Structure 1
Amino acid sequence: MIESRLPHRGALAALSLTAVTALTVLVALLLSLYAPATAHVAAGLTLTGPAIGPDENPLDAIRDVLARQSDALLRGDRDGYLRAIPVERQELREQAGRRFDSLTALHVKRWTLTATSMPERRADGWRQPVGVAYCFGADDCTTVDLRVDTTWSVARGRLQLIAYEQTTRPWDTTTLTAKAGARVTVAGPADGEQVSPATLDLVLNAAEAATRTDDRFATSFDGPPQRYFVYVAGDAQWQRWYDGSTRSYSAAYAMPLQPGATDVVLNVRDVRSDAGVTMLLTHEFAHVVTLGGTVPPAQAFWLTEGIAEYIADGDGSAMRQDLPAVRGYVAAGRWDGSVTPARPGKDASLDDATALYGIALLTVRYLAQRYGEPKLLAYFTEVVRRRQPLDAASRSVFGADWQSVSKDAAASIRAAATA
């Protein structure tokens, strides 16, 4: 997991970047299809699943099950969605109901489960990879594509799902409630213990304000996303969603799902004011639009976070927040003069992390002031999106070698830190 953080009002916002191939595999509601069963299923267990012969390949039956379950979800038929699960399997029914309720709250518009390969015979049944395509909000939303592994068996002549891979997606682990604005959907735990309806309203208003800045910068990259998604986590969800944040100073993170799709997770403990959350989400949405769901090079922390801070610094709030930490860091002799520092360690202090974010912001601000914002954005594209070496990108965009550019940037940082 590659993570980085942004300090905001006593905590840091984060870009939690995990390669798509390393993401925890999602279970696309397959849990709700059928209760686990074996050849020795209890005599009183309700029969579920299509009938299948002892030597019959189960692929067609699996496809039929997936199609029926998807249709029930999309038409909002909760009873139909749960009908395949025996009443004796209360835990499975509860899990399935939670997923149905959460996906419905998020206004799921497209949900397709596809078994394209032949099932693999195993001692306990068949292993069946299943492709999942889903999205929320609008009828023409762009789907997020996944693959999950499932295992099926036949019990009393009926096809049964007996194994699945569990996801850590918010909608797959928590019953959610959601609020939708013009550009943003905000969701949080439905129990309201930590994330109240008023909190979701505050976050939604702040997020909508943030989009006005980020949508403008998005025109220099892939264009504005169809919709931004923010999940507000209580303590339990903060540790569980996407396997939790690994950085102690994190307040939020952006999780890339695939090119063109990113989720943002916000810690409810850092929802303190409209202005603070607006700045925090402007930073996180900056990751959404500048990275476009891709994972940046690890060594580009300074530029990835620096540009997000720069975008969030429209009124100078980010600079006012970061600069005191930078001054303390420089005065203590802890800065080595590099304008391309590595990301803070997961156990870094808040002050140290804030200082490194501040140095990244000062570097990016220098580039924008010296060469103009369009060239700054072009340089970001070359280094982060196209993965060009710093010097080659500098010569191409700025017309100067990186050693000279970075030397001048470092001088400007030292001047700001000692002023």
Structure 2
Amino acid sequence: MLLLVGVVSLVRLVASQAVHSGPDVVLPPTSGQSGYVQPGERLEQLLSAQGEALLRGDEQGWLAPLDPDDAQLREAYRSQFRTLRALRVSSWQARPVVRPLLKRGEETSTDVTVAYCLAVPKCPPARFVGPEAPQLTQELTVRWGPDEQTVTITGSRAAERDRYGSRPLPWEDGGLTVREGRRVIVAAAPGETERLAEAVSAGDQAASVVDRYGRLAGREVPERYIVFLAGAGEWRTWRGGTAPEWAAAYAYGAGKTPSNVVVQMAEMRDRAGLLSTLRHEFGHVITVPGTDDILGSIHQWLVEGIAEYIQWGGRPPARAQLTEVRAHLRGGQWRGSIQLPRLASTSSDAEARVFYLMNHLTMTCVADRHGEAKLFRWWYAMVSEGSANYEPATRESLGESFAALDRACVSHLRRAVG
């Protein structure tokens, strides 16, 4: 349904451009449109110039289209400018979804699509359908006039229905403090700045471990991993506050650029816990950039299993960690396969721990049988499948059937748990 809406909007946009490809014109009066004009290229030029100002570090140019009398709006844009610059914004393309009809001297709302990149030197192209660069939809309120060349932005908010994902994104929040390390950029919410230096240090250390697995898997590692430190309020609001109840952190997709990481700092008891969590989330960044809902549901056991494997540097879980797994197996709740059913967002913390540990054991089993290089080759072949039919990928990558691998790793898991 969303794709259909997007296609319809695209057709309307193309039609509008075909009719109004030249300078701004006054439309012939029609029913209900007397006195209205198509702003045409002027609004697009305004947004393009604003994006160029952002990229060259021109704060006044970024603020230029805004209502000079709206101090709150200008401060919000000023804060966003400084955050985006600190996050190494490398691309910013904004244009109306459909050119709006405006009446001189009055305000109207229009949706604007923004394609952008953060800390990505070569930003992929922005596409309306199947976007490669991350995108969002912003609802702008604009005023046309007093003359034909003047367009003023008088309001801005997240579109009520943003087809590109939940809002607000962490970097849209005001008041972030940003610090850069060798391999990470970390942005802290106002209440989490005391742990900013700790997070930068832990992030750099985590990246040094995770980068090795990225290269082993033949993946291009990010120039910088981007991490947002959330307080309790931000955790409940960033990206709609939809993280599972058992989650302490997550990596969210940013088009086909590397995913960004959000950490719930209240769950990070010490530096060791933060370091371990960042290894796991960076594992998601290098394995499934742009993870979507299908990948996170059909292949969740694989997605979390490989991140656990990376988190612990290929080491299996210690036997002392497996008490809950042992109880789970003895309680008859397991169906006896490495292909575990999806973990629900409302699952308990104990259920989540069992799920993660069992998938971790599965990945160590495959690595023990076939080596790390084949583990990652098999893993990528598996998650590339559009269904849960893992037979072709397993035979091609490992030279055995999925049924044989399943039996072997079930035995491995039982021995490890004891």
TM range (shorter): 0.7 to 0.9
Equivalent in the alignment of 2:8 = none
Equivalent in the alignment of 1:159 = 151
Q: Judge conservation of contact 2:59–2:78 (CA < 8 Å) in 1.
A: yes
Question: Does the alignment pair 1:184 with 2:184?
Answer: yes
- Displacement after TM superposition at 1:188 (Å): 1.0
Q: How does 1:5-154 map to 2 (within 5 A)?
A: 56-115=37-96, 119-121=99-101, 130-137=112-119, 144-148=133-137, 150=139, 152-154=142-144
Q: Judge conservation of contact 2:90–2:118 (CA < 8 Å) in 1.
A: yes
Equivalent in the alignment of 2:164 = none
Per-residue CA distance 1:14-44 (angstroms, 9 max, x = gap): xxxxxx98xxxxxxxxxxxxxxxxxxxxxxx
Say which of 194, 217, 234 aligns to 2:213.
217
Rounded Cα–Cα distance in structure 1 between residues aligned with 2:384 and 2:218? 10
Question: Does the alignment pair 1:175 with 2:165?
Answer: no
SS in 2 for 1:381: helix
Distance 1:162 1:90, change over 3 A: closer
- In structure 2, runs of 5+ residues without a counterpart are 4-23, 27-34, 126-132, 159-166
TM normalised by structure 2 equals 0.78
Per chain length, whose mean CA-contact separation is higher, i.e. which structure has more relative contact order (CA < 8 Å, sep 6+)? 1
Question: Does the alignment pair 1:257 with 2:247?
Answer: no
Distance 1:70 1:316, change over 3 A: same
Distance 1:118 1:393, change over 3 A: closer
SS in 2 for 1:248: coil
Distance 1:211 1:320, change over 3 A: farther
- Which amino acid counterpart does residue 338 of structure 1 have in structure 2? S
Equivalent in the alignment of 2:374 = 375
Query: Identity rate of aligned residues, in percent?
Result: 28
Q: Judge conservation of contact 2:315–2:364 (CA < 8 Å) in 1.
A: no
Say which of 232, 235, 240 aligns to 2:232.
235
Distance 1:256 1:145, change over 3 A: closer
Rounded Cα–Cα distance in structure 2 between residues aligned with 1:417 and 1:262? 33
- Displacement after TM superposition at 1:267 (Å): 0.7
Q: Judge conservation of contact 1:185–1:229 (CA < 8 Å) in 2.
A: yes
- Displacement after TM superposition at 1:291 (Å): 1.1
- Which amino acid counterpart does residue 148 of structure 1 have in structure 2? T
Equivalent in the alignment of 2:269 = 272
Per-residue CA distance 1:210-239 (angstroms, 9 max, x = gap): 112211111214221222100010111111
- Which amino acid counterpart does residue 204 of structure 1 have in structure 2? V
- Displacement after TM superposition at 1:254 (Å): 0.5
- Which amino acid counterpart does residue 227 of structure 1 have in structure 2? R
Rounded Cα–Cα distance in structure 1 between residues aligned with 2:185 and 2:134? 20
Question: Does the alignment pair 1:226 with 2:223?
Answer: yes
- In structure 1, runs of 5+ residues without a counterpart are 1-19, 22-50
Q: Judge conservation of contact 2:89–2:119 (CA < 8 Å) in 1.
A: yes
Rounded Cα–Cα distance in structure 2 between residues aligned with 1:321 and 1:240? 36
Q: Judge conservation of contact 2:382–2:394 (CA < 8 Å) in 1.
A: no
Equivalent in the alignment of 1:328 = 327
Rounded Cα–Cα distance in structure 2 between residues aligned with 1:58 and 1:317? 62
- Displacement after TM superposition at 1:131 (Å): 4.3
SS in 2 for 1:375: helix
Runs of 4+ in 1 over 6 A off after TM superposition: 122-127
- Displacement after TM superposition at 1:129 (Å): 5.3
Distance 1:107 1:260, change over 3 A: closer
Distance 1:176 1:142, change over 3 A: farther
SS in 2 for 1:250: coil
Rounded Cα–Cα distance in structure 2 between residues aligned with 1:321 and 1:351? 15
Q: Judge conservation of contact 2:135–2:255 (CA < 8 Å) in 1.
A: no
Q: Judge conservation of contact 1:119–1:126 (CA < 8 Å) in 2.
A: no
Equivalent in the alignment of 2:195 = 199
Rounded Cα–Cα distance in structure 2 between residues aligned with 1:391 and 1:80? 57
- Displacement after TM superposition at 1:165 (Å): 4.8
- Greater CA drift, 398-407 or 76-85: 76-85
- Displacement after TM superposition at 1:149 (Å): 5.3
SS in 1 for 2:93: strand
Q: Judge conservation of contact 1:233–1:265 (CA < 8 Å) in 2.
A: yes
SS in 1 for 2:188: strand
Distance 1:138 1:333, change over 3 A: closer
